């Protein structure tokens, strides 16, 4: 069995942090088995190294190794990519295609960002894990495969399980052994080692002298949070290597390449908070719309009373309705209804403009008001659909679930409003 140090040299892994060493030790121990492994850690910590180590030390090392980024494949084609499809299975399927599980038979598949898999694909993947069986898209024939699966994710799968976005049984099948890589900010002593390795590589690549950091710059390098982890550190090292003519880097120079903590980076908002805010806004909007509808019905009812009974009787028949529409008045006489032959005039004395409602125009006026309200409702509906689609990155199914409508209805609305 190879040592941790030998593996680091072989795969060019820099660092002596105990948590990093423990992760590599676990990878070495599980490699000879066929156990499914889940690699967890923040984006940019180097999770892709663990499945490569496992594959190279396993009895499958002469078989295929395929790395699949599940988050980069569109939802509509991911089943075809993973399991293959038959000719004519869908529009554009002009020939039969082998999927990754068929190609990698006898080898290893690394499923990166496995938390992004659609639920339907999760069901297919669970079947592969349980008995090695899968069915191509558009086929009814069951096929067998012998593949070792290593998965990775940077999201909390327990939260995804609670929200119904990830199957609990699949999680336990994938995470027989879990290997966690620490973030760079917890590997304080490794940060400078990594930076020196990167600047040496870039000096060789661009044929220039390597950078050197003074003590103040080293302290800043080690204290910085590095929310993008190793990927961000490498990016900063490359920027300075290319742009700085003076190869001695001090504190001020290094600081000019580091973002103020959280200033120019995308803000991280928990999914719970976003969903809660959206739900609250939606509830308030619904309440306002229902109140508007109620007021409109009251106005229509009063208009009908004017038409049926004449203005002289309306104030006696429906005093509560009038008060609800116009509000409480210090003196009831301020709301005055006059009647002329063939005309009913509704004139609140507190308004500068009087509204003359003639009998033959009563229905038309009510319809005009209702049309204006419908236009406002449509505007709010368009606004809600746009927000939901933006929030769910254009995924119609997720947006439809959030709005409480079917995906077909959402598609019709998108076409109707030309979104």
Model confidence pLDDT, tens digit, residues 58-82: 999 999 999 999 999 998 899 999 9
Q: How far is CA 276 from CA 37, 204, 270, 380, in A?
A: 34, 51, 10, 19
Q: Are residues 109 and 167 in the same domain?
A: yes
- Which phi and psi angles does 180 have, rounded to 5°? -110, 130
Q: Are residues 27 and 173 in the same domain?
A: yes
Q: Are residues 224 and 322 in the same domain?
A: no
For residue 107, is it left (φ>0), alpha (ψ between -120 and 50) or beta? beta
> In the prediction, which pLDDT does 400 show?
80
Kindly state whether residue 301 falls inside one of the protein's structural domains: yes
> In the prediction, which pLDDT does 315 show?
54
Q: What is the CATH number of the domain that holds 113?
A: 3.40.50.300
Q: Are residues 410 and 307 in the same domain?
A: yes
Model pLDDT for residues 297-348, shown as the tens digit of each residue: 777 776 766 666 665 555 555 566 555 555 544 444 444 444 444 444 444 4
The DSSP element (H or E) to which 339 belongs, if any, is strand 335-340
Q: Are 46 and 52 in contact (CB under 8 A)?
A: no
Q: What is the CATH number of the domain that holds 222?
A: 1.10.8.60
What residue has token string 């499809």?
A: 85
Domains in the chain, number: 3
Give the pLDDT mean for 360-364: 47
3-state secondary structure of 4: helix
Task: Please name the residues in contact with 115: beta carbons below 8 A apart, sequence gap of 6 or more.
Answer: 70, 153, 155, 157, 160, 165, 166
Residue 174 reports pLDDT greater than 80: yes
Q: Are residues 102 and 132 in the same domain?
A: yes
CA gap 368, 355 in Å, rounded: 14
Query: Per the structure block, which two tokens stand in for 379?
Result: 């505007």
Residue 279 reports pLDDT greater than 70: no
Residue 271 reports pLDDT greater than 60: no
Q: What percentage of residues in the chain have a pLDDT greater than 90? A: 58
CA gap 43, 155 in Å, rounded: 9
Q: Are residues 157 and 208 in the same domain?
A: no
CA gap 116, 75 in Å, rounded: 9
Using only C-alpha atoms, the chain has a radius of gyration, in whole angstroms, of: 33
Q: Are residues 112 and 202 in the same domain?
A: no
For residue 395, what are the domain limits? 271-327+369-417
Kindly state whether residue 356 falls inside one of the protein's structural domains: no
Model pLDDT for residues 188-201, shown as the tens digit of each residue: 999 999 999 999 99
3-state secondary structure of 336: strand
Query: Per the structure block, which two tokens stand in for 4?
Result: 């941790």
18 vs 368, higher pLDDT: 18
What residue has token string 């592969």?
A: 128
Taking the CA of residue 315 as centre, how many other CA atoms within 13 Å lie in the half-sphere pointing to its CB?
16
Q: Are residues 16 and 40 in the same domain?
A: yes
Q: Are residues 27 and 96 in the same domain?
A: yes
Model pLDDT for residues 236-251, shown as the tens digit of each residue: 999 999 999 999 999 9
The band of 124, judged by pLDDT with boundaries at 50, 70 and 90, is very high
**Among 203, 231, 257, which residue terminates a domain?**
257
> In the prediction, which pLDDT does 415 show?
78
363 vs 136, higher pLDDT: 136
Q: Are residues 176 and 196 in the same domain?
A: no
> In the prediction, which pLDDT does 278 show?
53
Q: Are residues 123 and 217 in the same domain?
A: no
């Amino acid at each position: 069995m190879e040592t941790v140090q030998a593996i680091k040299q072989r795969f060019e892994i820099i660092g002596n942090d105990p948590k990093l060493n423990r992760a590599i030790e676990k990878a070495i121990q599980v490699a000879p088995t066929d156990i499914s492994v889940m690699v967890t850690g923040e984006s940019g910590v180097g999770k892709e190294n663990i499945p490569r180590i496992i594959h190279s030390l396993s009895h499958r090392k002469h078989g295929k190794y395929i790395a699949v980024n599940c988050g980069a494949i569109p939802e509509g084609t991911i089943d075809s990519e993973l399991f293959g499809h038959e000719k004519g299975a869908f529009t554009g399927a002009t020939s039969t295609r082998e999927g990754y599980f068929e190609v990698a038979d006898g080898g290893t598949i690394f499923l990166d960002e496995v938390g992004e898999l659609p639920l339907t694909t999760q069901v297919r993947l669970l079947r592969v894990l349980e008995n090695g069986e899968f069915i191509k898209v558009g086929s009814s024939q069951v096929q067998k495969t012998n593949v070792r699966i290593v998965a990775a994710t940077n999201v909390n799968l327990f939260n995804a399980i609670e929200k119904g976005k990830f199957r609990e049984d699949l999680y336990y099948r994938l995470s027989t052994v879990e290997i966690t890589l620490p973030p760079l900010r917890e590997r304080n002593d490794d940060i400078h080692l990594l930076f020196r390795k990167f600047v040496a590589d870039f000096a060789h690549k661009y044929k220039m002298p390597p950078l050197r950091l003074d003590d103040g710059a080293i302290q800043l390098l080690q204290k910085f949070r590095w929310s993008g982890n190793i990927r961000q550190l490498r990016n900063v090292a490359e920027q300075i290597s290319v742009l700085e003519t003076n190869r001695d880097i001090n504190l001020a120079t290094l600081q000019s390449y580091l973002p103020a903590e959280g200033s120019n980076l995308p803000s991280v908002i928990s999914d719970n908070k976003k969903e809660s805010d959206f739900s609250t806004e939606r509830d308030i909007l619904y309440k306002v719309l229902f109140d508007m509808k109620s007021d409109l019905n009251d106005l229509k009812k009063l208009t009908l009373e004017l038409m049926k009974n004449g203005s002289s009787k309306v104030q006696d028949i429906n005093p509560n309705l009038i008060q609800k529409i116009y509000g409480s008045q210090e003196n009831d006489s301020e709301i005055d209804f006059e009647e002329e032959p063939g005309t009913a005039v509704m004139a609140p004395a507190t308004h500068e403009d009087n509204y003359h409602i003639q009998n033959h125009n009563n229905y038309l006026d009510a319809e005009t008001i209702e049309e204006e309200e419908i236009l406002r409702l449509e505007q709010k509906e368009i606004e809600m659909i746009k927000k939901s689609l933006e929030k769910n990155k254009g995924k119609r199914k997720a947006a439809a679930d959030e709005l409480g409508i079917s995906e077909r209805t959402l598609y019709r609305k998108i076409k109707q409003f030309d979104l």
